Amino acid sequence: MWSQSYEADSQSFNLNNITNLSPMIIKNNLITLKNTLPKGVELVAVSKTKPIVDIQEAYDAGQRVFGENKVQEMVNKYEELPKDIQWHMIGHLQRNKVKYMAHFVHLIHGVDSIKTLKEIDKQAKKHNRVIHCLLQARIAKEETKFGLSFEDIEQIINSEEFISLKNIKIVGLMGMASFTDDNDQISNEFKSLNIFFNQLNSKYPTTYNFQLSTLSMGMSGDYKIAIANGSNMIRVGSAIFGARNYIA
């Protein structure tokens, strides 16, 4: 099973040391993966640490949605690559970095506080935009640094602070399962988020800043389990671009 960790804060990487695949392999990997996906499941190609040339090859093969976990790296790639790419911020987001991507980011996956939502709203307003966001739910049994409890999510949705935000829209939820070889545990964790997602959709009406449609679950090692449990957006990197070689 491939690593399920988004974060590389404790590791440094050297783009020159990354195992790059040939253009044809990247293209074939994309085609093979997309052919296995059910209709309605969106693929986010996780391009963190990958060089421009690899992302361009995926783009040339038809991929338009890419995910990054570091704002500066995403900004650099945005400036160099075609402007019809939809950039997703999939890593944990520091509030002081929001301003650097507010003019172009398509979807922010890992929102885990009302303070972060308020900052995104503030920066989006400066660019006359409404930025789409996913609330990150904590579903893993293992200890995890980021993510909201189901109770926390409902508290945010019901808060006056949230209701006042006009330049963000919550369009779904995101969750990461435990890093384990126990597929039953992974399945149960994804299932719990799918149930909660459906409960929210039934309980809360659509508003100008709340309209759930996206359930982002599943990465290279567990996306098939995630899809079986209701995911309609998966985040896959290694299965497309090959392994990342991190160095200490």
Look at residue 149 and tell me whether its pLDDT is greater than 90.
yes
Q: What is the pLDDT of residue 127?
A: 98
Q: What whole-number distance in Å separates Cα of residue 12 and Cα of residue 210?
A: 37
**Considering the chain, what is the average pLDDT of its residues?**
90
Domain covering 12-247, topology? TIM Barrel (3.20.20)
Q: How does 23-59 read in b/e, with b if 16+ C-beta sit within 10 Å?
A: eeebbebbeebeeebeeebbbbbbbbbbeeebbbbbb
Of all residues in the chain, the percent with pLDDT exceeding 90 is 85
Q: What is the pLDDT of residue 21?
A: 67
For 102, other C-beta atoms within 10 Å of its C-beta total 21
Look at residue 111 and tell me whether its pLDDT is greater than 80.
yes
Give the residue, 18 or 77, on which the prediction is more confident.
77
Hunting for tokens 């506080």 — which residue is that? 113
Look at residue 132 and tell me whether its pLDDT is greater than 90.
yes
pTM across the whole model: 0.89
Q: What is the pLDDT of residue 145?
A: 60
Q: What mean pLDDT is predicted for residues 148-167?
A: 97
Q: What is the pLDDT of residue 23?
A: 75
Task: Choose the weakest-confidence range: 19-28, 61-70, 130-139.
Answer: 19-28
Give the residue, 21 or 187, on which the prediction is more confident.
187
Which amino acid appears at position 115 of this protein? Answer: K
For 169-200, the pLDDT digits (tens) are 999 999 999 999 999 999 999 999 999 999 99
Q: What is the pLDDT of residue 142?
A: 77
Q: What mean pLDDT is predicted for residues 229-238?
A: 97
Q: What whole-number distance in Å separates Cα of residue 176 and Cα of residue 139?
A: 7
